[in-house]
Amino acid sequence: MMESLAYFHFLRPVWLLMLLLIAALWFWSRADVKGEATMQTKGIAPHLQRALQVGGEAGTTFRPLDAVFLIAGLLTLGVAGPSWTRAANPLLANSAPLVVALKVTPSMLTGDLAPSRLERAQFKLQDFLEQRAGARTAVVAYAGSAHRVSPLTEDANILRPLLDSLSPEIMPVEGADASAALTLAQDVLSTADTPGAILFLLDDFDPADVAVFSQERGAARPPVIFLVAASTAVSLPQLERIPNAEVIRLTTDDTDLNRIERRLDAVYVSAMAGDERLRWQDRGWWLAWPAALLTLAWFRRGWTMRWVILASLMFGISTPTTARAEGWIDWFLTPDQQGQLAYNDLEFSTAGALFTDPYWRGYAKFRAGEYEEAAQVFGRITTPEAALGQGLALIRNREYRPAIAAFETALERRADYPQAQHNLAVAQAILDFVETTREQSDTGEDSGIGADDIVFDNEEGRGADSAVVVPEGDSTPLTGAQWLSMIDTDMGDFLRGRFLLDNARVGN
């Protein structure tokens, strides 16, 4: 919240001039009251004046008219449009992207944090992924070399088996090269649409790497958060010398995760504030609540202002409203505000039904998995961002040709649109793969080959199929358990092989 207040300003500052008029009228009313009190007490002895006065000195009590001026001031500030945050882009995640660099070395197997430092870090990271549901996260593992475990993804289910498989045995090079992990994490973040941050989970840090973390590579280095997975007996003072970094100790509760989330929120707010394409959020409606509470004072005995109540009723009757009368909440919140509350609670389907803003409606339906409805909503908007959203929804719905057309429409509306260009290339690659696979997936049914036949592709025969019939003698079909036992599901072997290939490419 404190980071947001750095961007505080008024959207319509000209309305602040009304405060001068309100203040002048208030001073005039106060002076008039004092003048009347002086006229009424002239010629009365001072000791009798004090005895006859009720409520202290004249002009010091809070009067109904003072409440009117205070309410007018609050409403004027609200009309002026106070703002300190940008309206979120519904086509982007509402949190900063994060790259997690996990140290995977023998020292992380130490048991000062039960069951071990590495397992505690993995457990903590999985909890954090659940807390960041819907936010983009990538994972990098490092020892003597750094390797990308996964790209930026919103699906935590993809990351869990990969995290569980990380161990020092699969790392191809011994050591603890944090600078290599930083370089790789920055490369991953460079593909994101918005600035992000880097989270290091480690138990030790080589002081020689401080210089690398302190220097900037071209653009400003992303903020770095160090989550120390070691007992309090382990001291890492070298981390305090790194600029634009925060050091957090791993805790048994969610205190550490909450601190990380606040830091990421600050990064996200700063990134949104610098995006001139986004409009500022008007927070003036917040001031309506204290103004409404002050009106309750008018129901005190002697404070009733029937003319104000009558005017309010007439104004409420004559003002049209677009809010749907589906309950008492419609008296206080607009459909978009209700939709935002449902969206924040991850009730995307409900939010999609509540939103009237087309961008938020389409994005909520997209997050709810209602891709066809989301594509229809985005298709009714004539902006490049909407065409991009339509293409993303269509590609999730496996409608690749319409998705390509949507991305091409986005590029027609904005020629320099890297997100549309990237997704167009992805959609075309997927379509080519699907069509090629479909052409090569002749099952041989037309040639009389049965379901129990084994078909091999004969490259020398230019695609001619060769069939080998499985003998039906005493052969017994494999059970489901036997099939599963034949499938290699060891993600550790997969990651070890991929890391070795990474090192081989670097060596070449």
Domain 98-273 class, CATH top level: alpha beta
| One-letter amino acid for residue 202 of the chain | L
Say if residue 78's pLDDT is above 80.
Answer: yes
Q: Give me the pLDDT at residue 455, please.
A: 47
Percent of the chain with pLDDT strictly greater than 70: 71
- Per residue in 13-51, pLDDT tens? 999 999 999 999 888 877 765 555 555 555 666 766 666
Whether pLDDT at 69 is above 70: yes
Provide the H-helix boundaries in 371-417.
371-379, 384-396, 400-413
Of 129, 196, 193, the C-alpha closest to 161 is: 129
Give φ, ψ of 497 to 5 degrees: -65, -40
What would the pLDDT profile of 375-432 be if each residue is shown by its tens digit?
Answer: 999 999 988 888 999 998 998 888 989 999 999 999 999 888 888 888 898 888 888 8
User: Which residue type does 37 have?
Assistant: A
User: Tens digit of pLDDT for each residue in 235-248?
Assistant: 899 998 898 899 99
The residue with greater pLDDT, 122 or 9, is 122
Spell 12-40 as b/e; 16+ CB within 10 A means b.
eeebeebeeebeeebeebbeeeeeeeeee
**Mean predicted confidence (pLDDT) in 483-502:** 68
- The pLDDT value recorded for residue 217 is 55
Asked whether the bond before 82 is cis by omega within 30 degrees of 0, the reply is: no
- Band (333; pLDDT cuts 50, 70, 90): confident
pLDDT at 145: 93
> Could you give the CA distance from residue 443 to residue 437 in angstroms, rounded to a whole number?
12
Task: Decide: helix, strand or coil at residue 465.
Answer: strand
- 250-259 confidence digits (pLDDT tens): 998 989 999 9
C-alpha span between 167 and 261 (Å, rounded): 26
Pairing of strands 224-228, 453-458: unpaired
Calpha distance 109→117 (Å, rounded): 6
Residue 307 tokens, joined: 């003319």
Structure tokens at 105: 């070395």
What are the boundaries of each domain within the chain?
A: 2-85+283-317, 98-273, 331-439
Burial of 359 (0-12, 13-18, 19+ CB in 10 A): buried
What does the pLDDT average to over 286-300? 77
CB atoms within 10 A of CB 460: 5
For domain 331-439, the CATH class is: mainly alpha
d(CA 388, CA 384): 6
Q: For residue 370, give every residue at least 6 positions away whose Cβ sits within 8 Å of its Cβ, in sequence order, or none.
A: 349, 352
| φ, ψ dihedrals at 141, nearest 5° | -110, 140
Q: Is the pTM of this model over 0.85?
A: no
Q: What is the CA radius of gyration of the chain?
A: 33
Of the CA atoms within 13 Å of residue 261, those in its CB half-sphere come to 15
DSSP states along 208-243 = GGHHHHHS--SSPPPPEEEEE-S-TT---GGGGGST
Which DSSP state fits 223? P
* pLDDT (0 to 100) of residue 183: 92
- Label residue 280 by pLDDT band (50, 70, 90): confident
Confidence label for 274 from pLDDT (cuts 50, 70 and 90): low
Predicted local distance difference test score (pLDDT) of residue 323:
39
H/E stretch holding 288 reads: helix 288-295
